[in-house]
Amino acid sequence: MNSPVLKNIIRFALLVLIQVFLLNKIQFSGYINPYFYVLFILSLPFGIRKWFLLVLGFLLGISIDYFSGTLGIHAAATVFMAFCRPGIIRLLSVKDDLEPDIEPSIRNFGFLWYFTYSGSLVFLHHLVLFYLEIFRFSEFFSTFLMVILSSIFSLVFILIAQYLFYRKK
């Protein structure tokens, strides 16, 4: 469990399973579809190669797509999110030299930093995802409402997970 590679592989599998067999099965409401699996991209260490980040985003998205029967939609959104991640981190970080092994988490950076970081990325992910899925201008505003409400829910799940699994030692 100490190896970061093994840890991330387990996290990947676990998040896909939780998303597909738990969250996709629960009917919250027509407007609210939380996508918790993006936590994987959020939690990758800072030192990760940029190209590898994109490839992992693609793999994660396509695995969710396989189970949901929505080929390409989740992959497109997750790749976009992975693409935005380095930029968001650069915008938010105070010091320039982030240690490459460290993972973004509440424990390491505090609540406010993590909230802004995950909130903006989750919002970007959901924005691409819902507009691609619905793909209609006639439902523009209701889609936007869906994006906002679902982002809030996903974010709540992510923050809860942070407090559950990344407690201060």
Enumerate residues 95-114 that contact another protein by CB under 8 A: none
CB 46, min distance to another protein, A: 15
> How far apart are the C-alpha atoms of 34 and 158, rounded to whole Å?
10
44 binds another protein, rule: CB under 8 A: no
Q: Which is nearer to another protein, 98 or 108 (CB)?
A: 98
- Which among 129, 161, 165, 162 has a CA at the least distance from the CA of 147? 129
Three-state SS at 135: coil
| Binding window for another protein (CB under 8 A); candidates: 21-29, 96-104, 114-122, 161-169 | 21-29
Q: Find the binding residues for another protein in span 120-159 (CB under 8 A).
A: 132-136, 139, 142
Please provide residue 45's backbone torsions phi and psi, each rounded to the nearest 5 degrees: -65, 160
Candidate residues 75, 106, 124, 158; the one interacting with another protein per rule CB under 8 A: 75
**CA–CA dist 70, 120 (Å, integer):** 24
58 contacts 39 by C-beta, under 8 angstroms: no
Q: Applying CB under 8 A, which residues contact another protein?
A: 21, 24-25, 27-33, 50-51, 54-55, 57-58, 61, 66-73, 75-76, 79-80, 83, 86, 132-136, 139, 142
